């Protein structure tokens, strides 16, 4: 007499599992992420080394640990690398692909003593050692600091159409973002405030390239990098 009831309970359990398990699986499935219409292509938290990053001077960079976290640290003020034309000495270029439209989003920290040109840099549209764009986050603005630059087989040239009096560096971590759109040539740079760009430029010279991190001649740290875009290579 108990057998039908047992079958009933097993049937009910099976029915519940067919409803609950797919729902759980769906909840755990990673959701695709995008920003400004560009898909998330890669993330880097440096917990597993720096395989995809190529420094211009290996001795200038190291992985450092902060509590349970690891960061990629530029430890030399000026590295042993000599660029072909006047441009930043300290570079680590991402080897995971080239991009047309791209967003580079990350955290960065200046570890330099305070002075007027205390700075860090981000690279994009990187073709080779003497053809690329970069943004210089400088403590005090002038024609060679706190601007967007192009390096086109000649010393870096300012192309900013907007900037600020300077990047207010302290010893804390900050949030930075580069947005590059090749069709209209726009470049937007954000620092902490992700609503209003602190620098802008328009240039169509380089239609694709790699991204990178570094500085002109100052130490600093980088972490939690996200790259949004459509790889072309």
Q: Are residues 164 and 54 in the same domain?
A: yes
List the chain pLDDT tens, one digit each, 233 residues.
444 544 444 454 444 444 444 433 333 333 469 999 999 999 999 999 898 999 999 999 999 999 999 999 999 998 899 999 999 999 999 999 999 999 999 999 999 999 999 999 999 999 999 999 999 999 999 999 999 999 999 999 999 999 999 999 999 999 999 999 999 999 999 999 999 999 999 999 999 999 999 999 999 999 999 999 988 86
Q: Are residues 8 and 73 in the same domain?
A: no
Which residues make beta-bridge pairs with 201?
160, 187
For residues 220 and 73, give the distance between their C-alpha atoms in angstroms, rounded to a whole number: 6
**Amino acid 130: pLDDT:** 98
Structural domain range at position 56: 34-231
Q: Are residues 67 and 8 in the same domain?
A: no
Give me the number of domains the chain comprises. Answer: 2
Q: Are residues 213 and 136 in the same domain?
A: yes
DSSP the chain: --HHHHHHHHHHHHHHHHHHHHHHHHHHSPPP-EETTEEEEEEE-STT--TTEEES-GGGEEEEEETTEEEEEE--SS-S---SSSS-SEEEEE-S--EEEEEEEEEEEE-SPP-TT-EEEEEEEEEETTEEEEEEEESS-BTTBSSEEEEESSS-EE-EEE--S-----SS-EEEEEEEETTTTEEEEEESBSSS-SEEEE--S-S-BEEEEEESS--EEEEEEEEEEEE--
**Amino acid 64: pLDDT:** 97
Q: Are residues 27 and 92 in the same domain?
A: no
**Amino acid 78: pLDDT:** 85
Query: Looking at residue 118, which CATH number applies to its domain?
Result: 2.60.120.200
Give all strands of the β-sheet with 90-94 in edge-to-edge order: 53-55, 90-94, 210-215, 119-128, 131-138, 148-152, 157-158
Q: Are residues 90 and 182 in the same domain?
A: yes
Q: Are residues 80 and 193 in the same domain?
A: yes
Q: Are residues 14 and 128 in the same domain?
A: no
Q: Are residues 108 and 11 in the same domain?
A: no
pLDDT tens profile 184-209: 999 999 999 999 999 999 999 999 99
**Amino acid 230: pLDDT:** 85
Q: What is the pTM of this model?
A: 0.86
- CA-to-CA dists, residue 148 to 53, 82, 140, 188, angstroms: 22, 21, 14, 9
**Amino acid 6: pLDDT:** 47
Q: Are residues 47 and 78 in the same domain?
A: yes
Q: Are residues 16 and 56 in the same domain?
A: no
For residues 57 and 232, give the distance between their C-alpha atoms in angstroms, rounded to a whole number: 27
For residues 160 and 200, give the distance between their C-alpha atoms in angstroms, rounded to a whole number: 6
Q: Are residues 48 and 14 in the same domain?
A: no
For residues 56 and 90, the answer to whether their CB atoms sit within 8 Å is: yes
HSE-CB for 222 with a 13 A CA cutoff: 33
Residue 39 — φ and ψ, nearest 5°? Answer: -75, 150
Report the chain's C-alpha Rg in angstroms. 23
């Amino acid at each position: 007499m108990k057998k039908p009831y047992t079958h009933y309970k097993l049937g009910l359990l099976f029915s519940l599992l067919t409803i609950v398990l797919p729902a759980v699986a769906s909840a755990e499935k990673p959701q695709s992420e995008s920003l400004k219409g560009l898909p998330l292509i890669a993330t880097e938290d440096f917990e597993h080394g720096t395989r995809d990053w190529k420094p211009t001077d290996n001795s200038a960079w190291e992985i450092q640990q902060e509590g349970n976290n690891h960061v990629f640290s530029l430890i030399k003020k000026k590295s042993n690398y000599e660029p072909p034309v006047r441009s930043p000495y300290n570079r680590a270029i991402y080897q995971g692909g080239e991009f047309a439209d791209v967003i580079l989003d990350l955290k960065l920290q200046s570890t330099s003593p305070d002075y007027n040109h205390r700075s860090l840099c981000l690279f994009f549209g990187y073709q080779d050692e003497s053809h690329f764009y970069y943004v210089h986050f400088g403590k005090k603005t002038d024609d060679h600091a706190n601007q967007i630059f192009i390096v086109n087989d000649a010393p870096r040239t300012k192309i900013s159409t907007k900037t600020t009096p300077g990047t207010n560096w302290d010893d804390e971590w900050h949030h930075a973002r580069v947005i590059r759109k090749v069709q209209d040539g726009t470049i937007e740079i954000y620092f902490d405030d992700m609503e209003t760009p602190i620098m802008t430029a328009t240039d169509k010279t380089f239609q694709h390239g790699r991204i990178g991190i570094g500085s002109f001649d100052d130490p600093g740290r980088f972490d939690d990098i996200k790259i949004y875009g459509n790889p072309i290579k």
